[in-house]
Amino acid sequence: MPIQRFPENPLMGPSDVKPSRPDFEVVCAFNAGCARLGSEIVLLLRVAERPAHGPDELVAPLLAPDDVSRGLQVLRVRKDDPDCEAIDSRMFKYKGRLYLTSISHLRLARSANGKNFVIDEVPAMLPEVHDEEFGIEDPRITPIDGKFTINYSAVSRHGVATALAVTDDFRTFERRGLIFAPDNRDVSLFPEKVGGHYACFHRPMGAAFGQQDIWFASSPDLLHWGEHRFVCGCRPGQWDSLKVGAGAVPIKTESGWLAIYHGADHRHRYCLGCLLTDLEEPHRVIARSNEPILAPQMDYEREGFFGDVVFTCGALVETDGRVVIYYGSSDEHTCAAETTVQELLATLES
């Protein structure tokens, strides 16, 4: 493979993060967006927490649905309750409604070398509004117009939506609300305008027809999105046969827009691959990885909260062409791997 994992992996995990409240425990620290801020590399980690609970019960932390000002509440259900159906480590159903076993917020980590990080003791962004009832997840950070634009998944009983926030210092954040209604996630904003408009990849999640595919959209203001175009879909019998979704911010090259994306197969094994799309028409695919550029192989990628998963929300491109990909492993830890733009381009086949 063209990618070299950091020997320090995992860089961060649940034990490295202080819970946001004393009655919670951190179970995951993963799927980080990344950016350069001055001389530092900053990550916005997705930190998933759950309340302490007994072996015979399932718990779901959530914002009070009737009044979010009441803060987090905890639903506790006995495992032997006939109205309860355990699904996996991440979720269960109770009285026909889906609940998450943890709730996520975003936490800042800083590093001078991209390997040794200091994690803030308090959250950078917490769930605050009805659309974030079940948590905020999987941030992507894109430098646009002199600020850092952050899109993230906002999860509630209505589904998974995509929300937007803006910051210039990672201390204060201006929330700008939802930009894609449920169910839509895996939004990756382009770092510059295309044809005079902001641009993104996104992943609508239709239930009746179609699959979980990557689409393109454009916007005059980052809030109102249109001109939706299909980009690429799942490929039967291959590593991305079940679902695909955009990952890191697209990288502009002379050959086209280079996008690192994730794909899952019917065993729910998540890998990373690449797309190359046209510079002026980013919905038009020029080439694509037939084999993953990164697949779960190490113990920390195969075993964990939800095993057999590598998933990225961010990559940093250095001036010498090196690319550092920060990725979540097994929905639990934060890891990194290094490659180059040229090595990624060499994996593509038209």
**155-172, pLDDT tens digit by residue?**
999 999 999 999 999 999
Domain segments of the chain: what residues? 4-349
CB within 8 Å of 134: residues ≥ 6 apart: 62, 63, 99, 100, 103, 127, 155, 156, 157
DSSP 132: G
CB within 8 Å of 107: residues ≥ 6 apart: 17, 29, 44, 45, 47, 119, 120, 123, 124
Count other C-beta atoms under 10 Å from residue 111's C-beta: 16
Share of the chain above pLDDT 90, in %: 92
Asked if 116 and 108 touch (Cβ cutoff 8 Å), the reply is: no
Mean pLDDT across 219-247: 97
CATH number of 4-349: 2.115.10.20
Asked if 217 and 200 touch (Cβ cutoff 8 Å), the reply is: yes
Question: How much is the pLDDT for 89?
Answer: 85
Mean pLDDT across 186-214: 92
Laid out side by side, the sheet with 322-329 consists of: 4-5, 333-340, 322-329, 310-317
**109-158, pLDDT tens digit by residue?**
999 999 999 999 999 999 999 999 999 999 999 999 999 999 999 999 99
Cis, peptide link before residue 10, omega less than 30° from 0: yes
Question: How much is the pLDDT for 1?
Answer: 47
pLDDT of 215 strictly over 70 = yes
Least confident of 17-26, 60-69, 252-261: 60-69
pLDDT of 34 strictly over 90 = yes
pLDDT grade, residue 208 (50/70/90)? low
Question: How much is the pLDDT for 7?
Answer: 97
Asked if 189 and 246 touch (Cβ cutoff 8 Å), the reply is: no
CA angle 149, 155, 157 (to 5 degrees): 150
